[in-house]
Amino acid sequence: MTGNDAALIQDPMAIFAYLTAIVGILFMLSTIDNKFLNKLFRYAPPLIWMYFLPMISTTFGIIPQSSDLYSFLGTYILPAGLLLLMIGANVPATLKLGGKAIVLFLAGTVGVVIGGPIAFALFQGILPEDAWRGVGALAGSWIGGTGNMGAMIETFRTPEDILSPVILTDTLVGISWMGVMIALANFQNKFNTWNGADNSTIKRVNEDIATDMQRNVKPLQLPQLFGILGIGMAGSYIIRVFAGMDFLPKSDIMSTSTWSFIIITAVGIALSFTKVRNLEYYGASKIGYLGIFLYLTGIGAQANLADIVQSPQFLLMGVVWLSIHILCIFGAARLLKAPLFFVAVGSQGNIGGTSSAPIVASVFQPALAPIGLLMGILGNVVGIYAALLCGQLAKMIAGG
């Protein structure tokens, strides 16, 4: 493992420039009309490389494994991104997906919530003392994606020696499952026939979402840009100050950060029902994603590939944990006679979140990426609360 003093880049601003360049180059490459690149990013989207490239950079001593920048991204940039993402949520459209889609998603969530403590209990004897804090962090990622993981890292104060193998487990196990789901797209007609599934709801909701965006999307202008930045940065900062006030009860779990993310989720969803949501037509969620992706590179930078060799038990725990999630969501699909598409987006809405759920959705049904995004947003909404429960259950098993 490389030490911080040995890293080639030390200055926080230089690290920020390096990580920003990674995000920018990845997205630029993903838009190039090239057969090789198109195939590469279809099965290994930019999100994956945002984890791996900083991880490799840390492993080879280009950037340090710990820096004040990473704390800044988690404390200020991540909450702003989450708030903008919540403001852009189309909750009514999500509800139109019907009971089956939402029940399947929630079945996947239940699988994560109960799977974490069960897997932790099985491997507790060979895991480090504070491994339960890593369970809470990984639960955040596996119920809604990177943004929620960041919230849980702050909430459970996951130490670096736990965080690194957890990030690697999240990446390796999560990416492997996404690959399996993509491969299953070729068998969806056979699955749906065997399961007696109906696809009509999927087609109807897709048409509604596409029509709404086509009618209302607007070019981003300076007033709206500064409005989006002002709401994101100032709003999240004010909420954090409010969350730190004494009248809100604090504990090892319910810290200022925890209250901050809970309030941000609630306020963002509430604002999505007001005219503030019109900022989404100017790209509010895209700017929110920028903050989350920058934070994602900082998360990747805190992991070292050598750590998974030293802590393979985390990887084993992740495989068992994910298996419980898979059993729950496929069991629900069988009971409800749901199409495989709902299984895919419901699972990725949990495990992958807003970044990979649209990708998997588009592989199943090229025109239905927005439904994957909606499932990812649903994961953002419930993820904070469900991951808190999962982490608390793991803490109880640890005897905390």
The reply to whether 48 falls in a domain is no
Residue 369 parent element (H or E): helix 369-397
Please report the DSSP string for 223-256 in residue order. Answer: HHHHHHHHHHHHHHHHHHHHHTSTTS---SSS-H
Q: What is the pLDDT of residues 176-188, one digit of tens each?
A: 887 788 778 878 8
Domain count, the chain: 1
Residue 1: what pLDDT? 46
Which residues form the domain of 142?
68-296+305-397
The reply to whether 104 falls in a domain is yes
Q: How far, in Å, are 48, 80, 240 from residue 303 at the CA level? A: 14, 24, 27
The reply to whether 168 falls in a domain is yes
The reply to whether 342 falls in a domain is yes
Q: What is the pLDDT of residues 148-179, one digit of tens each?
A: 888 888 888 888 888 888 888 887 888 788 77
Give the residue with greater pLDDT, 3 vs 365. Answer: 365
The reply to whether 176 falls in a domain is yes
| pLDDT over 70, % of the chain | 91
Enter the DSSP assignment of 248: S
Residue 254: what pLDDT? 65
Query: Could you tell me which of 258, 265, 290 has the C-alpha nearest to residue 83?
Result: 265
The reply to whether 35 falls in a domain is no
Report how far residue 331's alpha carbon sits from residue 81's, in angstroms, rounded to the nearest whole number.
34
pLDDT grade for 340, boundaries at 50, 70 and 90: very high
The reply to whether 43 falls in a domain is no
Residue 370: what pLDDT? 55
The reply to whether 23 falls in a domain is no
